[in-house]
Amino acid sequence: TTADLESFLHFAISLAQLAGPIILEGFNSRFTPERSALLVKKGNTADLVTEWDQKVEKIVRAEIASKMKGHCFIGEETVAAGEECGLTNAPTWIVDPIDGTTNFVHGFPFVAISIGLAINQEPVVGVIYNPMMNQLFTAAKGQGAYVSKIDENPREQGRRLPLSYPHAPLPLQDISMALIAGEYGSSRGTKDINARTVSMRNLAAVEPAAWTPGRKAGHAHGIRCLGTAAMNMMCVAQGQFDMYWEVGPWEWDICAGIIIIRESGGVVVDGCGREVTDGELLIGRRILCVRACSDEDGNSSPEAIAAAQRKIIE
Ligand code: IPD
């Protein structure tokens, strides 16, 4: 019910309030000598994890276990530690304790905790909090999306998304006027990196030789890689990025972002144009997000989505 979602949203905000000061402490102390054991090896040099990721996840997970009886939990570090966490229809909290771990290690302030709740595999509550910038993004299904500060009431003191920048409400028919976020991701094998580099080139290329004959010419205004799926998605929700595309993000990177973008009037679809259920979207590791547009139905234009998908995968 609406009241249930409302109380789950408040609980998710309380988790962000709990985690924020810890993330900030880690961020501010990362260069002190006693923190030299900061890095815990995970995948490769592009797939980092720190003691802080583990610490935050442990605290958040314990809080969920004690307050949300019967709910499931999927967390980045829990999965990394080898625990089985399959996505089922049960209410499931899907959490990335520190999204943008590489940024966290380098002191680049695009870092956020991402807390999503999926019910029947559909994201219904999302909270993303960047403690360095004190930006709290919140949404519950059917109740709109907001950005506020952590100690504010999002609906009363926050701003509803998308923000009304001059360009944001314009229809987006094609990628040629778009500011697009993409990522090189953390799997850096030759095959993966080649495919991503080709996609980046397709989106950015200006020279006519890059176009397939007969296709509408055009290139994106610009491409950005923030190093965090959650913050890339929040730039889409605000209307700052027109699109975000990535092959590689996990369900904890995107669960909260999906509902916040949807509640801001944008859409999140499979990055390769396949028809997928929400469950498949969550675990499919292939997303394309498009900001709200001023179409009659208030949704991002199918033309823009199709144009971006063509350019990305051609
Ligand atoms: C990663 C970041 C990165 C994205 C990867 C994610 P992490 O999450 O969001 O921008 O490219 O797909 O896994 O490792 O920083 O939590």
Q: Name the strand (E) or helix (H) holding 40.
A: strand 39-40
Q: Tell me the percentage of the chain whose pLDDT exceeds 90.
A: 62
Domain coordinates in residue numbering, the chain? 2-160, 175-313
And the tokens for 93?
Answer: 């909290």
Per-residue pLDDT for 208 more than 60?
no
The pLDDT score that the predictor gives to residue 36 is: 47
End-to-end CA distance of the chain: 43
Q: pLDDT over 70 for what percent of the chain? A: 88
Q: Which of 189, 187, 191, 217 is nearest to 202 (CA)?
A: 217
Catalytically annotated residue among 57, 174, 253, 263: 253
The neighbour count for residue 12, using CB atoms within 10 Å, is 26
Are β-strands 39-40 and 49-50 bridged in parallel, bridged antiparallel, or unpaired?
A: antiparallel
Q: What is the CATH number of domain 175-313?
A: 3.40.190.80
Catalytic one among 99, 183, 246, 251?
99
| CB of 186 closer than 6 angstroms to any ligand 1 atom | yes
> Of how many residues is the chain composed?
314
Q: Rounded to an integer, what distance in angstroms lies between the CA atom of residue 83 and that of residue 80?
A: 7
| pLDDT for 310 | 87
Q: 227-271: per-residue pLDDT in tens?
A: 999 999 999 999 999 999 999 999 999 999 999 999 999 999 999
CATH homologous superfamily of 2-160: Fructose-1,6-Bisphosphatase, subunit A, domain 1 (3.30.540.10)
ipTM summary value? 0.96
**Statement: residue 210 has pLDDT above 70:** no
| pTM (two decimals) | 0.93
| Ligand 1 atom at shortest distance from the alpha carbon of 232 | 10
Q: Are 179 and 308 in contact (CB under 8 A)?
A: no
Task: Provide the CB-side half-sphere exposure for 235 (13 A, CA).
Answer: 22
DSSP reduced 3-state for 211: coil
Which residue's structure tokens are 């940024």? 103
295 C-alpha to center of ligand 1: Å?
A: 31
The per-residue pLDDT for range 115-168, each reduced to its tens digit, is 999 999 999 999 999 999 999 999 999 999 999 999 999 999 999 999 876 555
Residues ≥6 apart with Cβ < 8 Å to 153: none
Q: How high is the pLDDT of residue 37?
A: 45
Q: How far is the CA of 214 from the centre of ligand 1 (A)?
A: 36
| Helix 190-204 / helix 302-313 crossing angle, nearest 10 deg | 130
Burial of 123 (0-12, 13-18, 19+ CB in 10 A): buried
Distance CA 305, CA 267 (A): 9
